[in-house]
Amino acid sequence: MAWIQRRIELKRRARGFHLITDEILSTLPEIRQVKVGQLHLFLQHSSASLTLNENADPDVRRDMEGAFNRLAPENHPDYFHTLEGPDDMPAHIKSSLNGVSLLLPVGQGELLLGIWQGIWLGEHRDHAGSRSLIATLNYE
C-alpha cells in the first residue's frame, strides 16, 4: 500500500457551486499510475462544502444555489450567530447539509466517477478567500 497526502489551495471563488474536478486532478498526477485505490478529499472549512453531482450543465449548479438559499435563508429571525454577517450562519448550515469530505474510487489511472459526475465546491459565503483541501490518495 502507498499513501500520498497533499494540501490543495483552491482559488477564491464567488458564492455558489463550482466544478473543481480538473483543479484537483491537476495537482495529483500520481492518479494516472493507480490501478486500484481511493481518494479522500477533506475541506478544512465550516462555511463551504464538497459534493458530487452533475458535471455538464451549469444550470444545475445555479439551481442548487437557489435551493440551498431557500433551505437556509439569510437574516432568518431564529439565528443567534449573526456577528459575522447575514451569510455566515446559513453558510454553516449549508456546509453541514453537504458535508466537507468525499471518498472516491480510483482505478485504471482515473477517478471512477459516473459519466455525468463531477466534484463540486459549495462556496457559501459572499466574500470568502481561498479554500484549503486535504487530498489523501491510498493505492496498491
Domains contained in the chain, CATH given: 2-139 (2.60.120.460)
- For residue 91, count other CB atoms closer than 10 A to its CB: 26
Cα separations (Å) of 111 from 4, 28, 49, 85, 118?
A: 15, 11, 20, 38, 10
pLDDT for res 137:
98
Specify whether the CB–CB gap between 29 and 140 falls below 8 A: no
Q: What's the distance, CA 82 to chain centroid?
A: 24
C-alpha–C-alpha distance, residues 80 and 57, integer Å: 37
Q: What are phi and psi of 33, to 5 degrees?
A: -100, -5
Q: Which amino acid is at 115?
A: I
d(CA 140, CA 138): 7
Pairing between strand 2-10 and 16-19?
unpaired
| Residue 70 pLDDT level (bands cut at 50, 70, 90) | very high
Tell how far CA 99 is from the center of its chain.
8
What is the per-residue pLDDT across 84-124, written as a single tens digit (0 to 9) for each? 999 999 999 999 999 999 999 999 999 999 999 999 999 99
The pLDDT score that the predictor gives to residue 41 is 99
Q: Quick one: pLDDT at residue 127? A: 95
The answer for residues whose C-beta is within 8 angstroms of residue 59's C-beta and 6 or more apart is none
All cell numbers assigned to 23: 483543479
